[in-house]
Structure 1
């Protein structure tokens, strides 16, 4: 059966924490896999960093990927079909454009770019080149997420959705970080909103509306942010739809709790447990003694589900994914642009 699955060859751009999670997940043996993934190349800012990354996270890979001391060499490697970009937000636009120029397909970490204008520029380049590009919003591809949305919107298990509350809070010890940290430097896209608030916003959008991108309703936005040293440490936003609303919050100053999301409907409610980016279970409440809990097994962290989707799309000759199309990436960034406009967080790239 495995031989019949599509196979894609990956090039990894950057060797930080998120890239380590991604490659380890591609190595996981699992029964539900829908594609074969081969890591052919790793590109880092130096040969030494790349070597250390491979020794630590890919020593069991067969064959061992080629290690490059630059990203450009990955883009030029003819044995690489698709690149995974795990650099800080501020570099995503240029990394994507460079990969696209070389005809590579792209899976780029969230937030896809600093703002919606940058995203449009990337997608225009991808359209001209005819390559596949997707934002790596892995949470949308979890079986838990897909099952929840079916119960919520198709089966209307809690009736009509009226309110959604979602929070993502992590104490990132911001005060102790140096000015060049990606969590502290505005030029690198620092702040709570792009780093973790995007997850709170994503859950609210998915639960309040069945449409994606251009087919989705446009909510009114009311937002506030707390700024320390020019970056947003706390962001809060109201999404106002006719007859329903979402309350979206995030913070890098305190640690949040689970359940992280509550969905309230005309006939009950749902609570989602785990981390906002990595859900573990949800419980449907339809009365004092009427509850049902859904739990989901996952052998690794869960990055492989989005990787499978990329492989299937590329094999099918698609340039966009149905779950995370280009217009949905732009929509989320437009909302975050508006939250920052009202809240006050600015990046140097906004003036470009």
Structure 2
């Protein structure tokens, strides 16, 4: 049977759209995806010249002729486009996704999905009304390591999860950036670490705790506690810490920062009854994890004891699950999920569904409210409303 072909329109021509498109047109066989195929039919930018330049620079020469450059509106109106990828700054995700859905297009929108829950609820309602597929582009969820980590934790071999620590932080030297135009610190652009970096710690928290077999009803978190250190130049967060608890499942501590470099060896730590699992750096694209079993008793844990130490009781094992070179950066795994869902008539992905995106957005809203976030978005909404 021939693979299902999905025709894409790309909205925006920045770095994230460039990487997504490069990965999108790679041969699916390079990641064992022989049932789907992707083709770029249109690229939208603020000018046709910019869109055409993107097509020439990003698409292989044999695919350029079939792609049409133009404005966002022209991409939305293009009858040859089945689904639109939204790669604009996150304060424009609501507007761009709304326009795409109103034009009858399925949508894969970059993270964070929207500026707040109110916007996300409107998009969700519209997608359902129009019978269109909608998904947040949480690419890490579809990487080989994401499934492998869940399998290891959910196997029960190491007992129940007790605590999760997840971090993504970089020192971007914010004082050197333009406070009005740089998306990482500009208040009007919804800057700060939480919205830009926070989705990645939440990727692992949602997969480990929310999707945990112990959360049989997929209940949302029972509590959220947030703290922010505000970047005084613009009122956005320089660093954020939030504690999210799922009753009877486990507790997560998440952190982000735009002025501190994170640990370059590990990004996530999962403490279980019978061991500890750590995920390699970086949070958005790790390629391995390490498990250290917990010793069964004090004698096993103490090599200086009465000669009872068990050399295998605390044996650390590292497991590699890289994205193959033939899959590029790996942003195409999520595109394969989109294709299969649309092929099968699904309006959302089971692995990355709208209810879970809403939980993440709700957590961010609450953290900003508790932390005193003063940024807004491009439409003038206040961050703490």
280-289 vs 79-88, which deviates more? 280-289
- Give the Cα separation in 2 of the matches to 1:42 and 1:279: 30
Larger radius of gyration: 2
Number of the residue aligned with 2:188: 187
Number of the residue aligned with 1:10: 8
1:266 matched to 2:291? The reply is no
**1:136-155 counterparts in 2 under 5 A?**
136-153=137-154, 155=155
Could you tell me which runs of 5 or more consecutive residues in structure 1 were left unpaired when the two chains were aligned: none
- The alignment's C-alpha RMSD in Å is 1.9
**1:186-335 counterparts in 2 under 5 A?**
186-210=187-211, 215-228=218-231, 229-242=234-247, 244-256=250-262, 257-287=264-294, 289-298=314-323, 299=325, 300-335=328-363
141-150 vs 283-292, which deviates more? 283-292
Partner of 1:329, secondary structure, is helix
Give the TM-score of the pair, scaled to structure 1. Answer: 0.94
Q: Give the deviation of 1:349 after TM superposition.
A: 2.2
- Give the Cα separation in 1 of the matches to 2:284 and 2:65: 30
| Alignment check: 8 A CA contact 2:244 2:251 kept | yes
Deviations along 1:20-49, whole A, 9 cap, x unmatched?
110111122314124100011110111222
Deviations along 1:98-120, whole A, 9 cap, x unmatched?
00111000000000000111000
Number of the residue aligned with 1:125: 126
| Alignment check: 8 A CA contact 1:213 1:329 kept | no
Number of the residue aligned with 1:349: 381
Q: Give the deviation of 1:144 after TM superposition.
A: 0.8
Q: Give the deviation of 1:182 after TM superposition.
A: 1.5
Give the TM-score of the pair, scaled to structure 2. Answer: 0.86
308-317 vs 171-180, which deviates more? 171-180
Could you tell me which runs of 5 or more consecutive residues in structure 2 were left unpaired when the two chains were aligned: 295-312
- Give the Cα separation in 1 of the matches to 2:238 and 2:26: 35
Deviations along 1:65-102, whole A, 9 cap, x unmatched?
43433100000101110000000011101101100111
